[in-house]
């Protein structure tokens, strides 16, 4: 997942809406306590939501010394949902929340990164907006240099580097472009990659910070193997579970 300002702000926006909706409901049921583990859990993207990206489950050794998924009887890990109010259709329905890619409201998925992009008011570019007539003004021809030279320099000032060095959607009728949204890197960012041979040797991949604990592992069509994830030690139940935003 991208480690940028937009990702944190999108998560913060979703968390705030989720908490506000639950708080409003609990105001009418003051003796009701939410579950201990009822925190804000999100999907990676729509492919994770609809099952195209399958969950990676921890495994251990069976009595026959083969890798077997750990017993998860009685466990629960449900993603957070918000009640979506469609005033036009006069319906209220749950919307499960994820971080990346586009919305699929009809299918029950809401992308926080897409929602952040369409709600945020960006700085208008080009900035500053230099009039294209500046190079022809008489005042630019009063200096010691020739008028042709002054005009050429001002042409450069008019045209160069007044747009930002990243995707800049100036048409308000089109969706804005944000890394992690539906138009730019909807599948996230690559952390590391490796090519394995036929010798069966172990391969180490570079780690990094993983927002929301969500990580996608992609294998080649004919590959299989065992993935070991080493978690950094820390103060949250023995691991370094950083609060969202600390990676900025």
Please indicate, yes or no, if residue 158 is contained in any of the structural domains.
yes
Residue 55 lies in a domain: no
Residue 188 placed within a domain: no
What is the C-alpha to C-alpha distance for residues 137 and 67, in angstroms, rounded to an integer?
A: 77
Q: Are strands 91-98 and 81-86 parallel, antiparallel or unpaired?
A: antiparallel
| Residue 123 or residue 244, greater confidence | 244
Interval 117-168: pLDDT, tens: 888 877 767 777 777 777 777 776 777 666 666 778 878 877 888 888 888 7
What pLDDT does 199 receive?
67
Contacts of 149 (CB under 8 A, 6+ apart): none
Lowest mean pLDDT among 38-47, 81-90, 113-122, 131-140: 131-140
On whether residue 38 sits in a domain, the answer given is no
pLDDT digits (tens, 9 = 90+) for 183-215: 888 889 888 888 776 666 778 888 888 888 899
Domain membership flag for residue 14: no
| pLDDT at residue 94 greater than cutoff 70 | yes
Q: Which pLDDT score is estimated for 147?
A: 64
State how far Cα 137 lies from the chain centre. 47
CA 213 to chain centroid, in Å, comes to 12
C-alpha angle 65/71/74, rounded to 5°? Answer: 170
Q: Is 65 left (phi over 0), alpha (psi -120 to 50) or beta?
A: left
Checking if the pLDDT of 248 tops 60, the result is no
Mean pLDDT over residues 43-50, rounded?
95
Residue 135 lies in a domain: yes
Count of domains for the chain: 1
Q: How far apart are CA 126 and CA 120, in angstroms?
A: 18
- Picking from 11-15, 160-164, 210-214, 244-248, which range would have the lowest pLDDT averaged per residue? 244-248
230: tokens are 């080493």
What are the backbone dihedrals phi and psi of residue 114, each rounded to the nearest 5 degrees, phi first?
A: -70, -40
86-99 mean pLDDT = 88
Domain membership flag for residue 137: yes
Confidence category of residue 15, pLDDT binned at 50, 70, 90 = very high
Look up the pTM and report it: 0.81
- Residue 92 belongs to what H/E stretch? strand 91-98
Q: Is 70 or 149 the better-scoring residue by pLDDT? A: 70
Q: At CB < 8 A and 24+ separation, what contacts does 62-68 make? A: 67/226
Q: What is the arithmetic mean of pLDDT over 209-236?
A: 84
Q: CA-CA distance, 161 to 239, in Å (whole number)? A: 45
**Domain encompassing residue 146:** 126-162
The pLDDT of residue 78: 92
Q: Is residue 34 part of a domain?
A: no
**What contacts 162, CB < 8 A, 6 or more positions away?**
125, 126, 127, 128, 129, 130
* pLDDT, tens digit (0-9, with 9 covering 90-100), for 51-63: 999 888 888 999 9
Sign of CA dihedral 11, 13, 16, 18: negative
What pLDDT, on the 0 to 100 scale, is given for residue 183?
A: 81
Q: Which two three-digit tokens encode residue 194?
A: 């490796």
């Amino acid at each position: 997942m991208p480690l940028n300002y937009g990702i944190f702000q999108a998560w913060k926006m979703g968390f705030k809406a989720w908490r506000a909706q639950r708080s409003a409901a609990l105001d009418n049921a003051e003796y009701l306590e939410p579950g201990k583990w009822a925190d804000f859990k999100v999907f990676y993207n729509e492919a994770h939501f609809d099952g195209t990206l399958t969950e990676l489950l921890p495994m251990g050794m069976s009595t026959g010394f083969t890798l077997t998924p750990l017993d998860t009887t009685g466990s629960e890990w449900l993603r957070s949902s918000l009640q979506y109010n469609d005033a036009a259709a006069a319906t209220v329905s749950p919307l499960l929340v994820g971080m990346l890619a586009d919305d699929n409201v009809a299918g029950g998925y809401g992308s926080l990164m897409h929602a952040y992009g369409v709600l945020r008011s960006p700085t208008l570019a080009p900035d500053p907006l230099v009039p294209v007539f500046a190079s022809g003004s008489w005042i630019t021809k009063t200096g010691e240099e020739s008028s042709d030279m002054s005009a050429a320099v001002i042409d450069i000032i008019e045209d160069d580097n007044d747009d930002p060095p990243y995707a800049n959607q100036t048409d308000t009728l089109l969706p804005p472009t944000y890394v992690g949204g539906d138009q730019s890197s909807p599948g996230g960012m690559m952390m590391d990659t490796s090519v394995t041979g036929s010798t069966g040797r172990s391969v180490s991949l570079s780690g990094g910070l993983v927002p929301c604990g969500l990580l996608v592992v992609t294998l080649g069509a004919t590959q299989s193997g065992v993935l070991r994830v080493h978690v950094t030690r820390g103060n949250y139940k023995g691991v370094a579970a950083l609060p969202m935003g600390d990676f900025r």
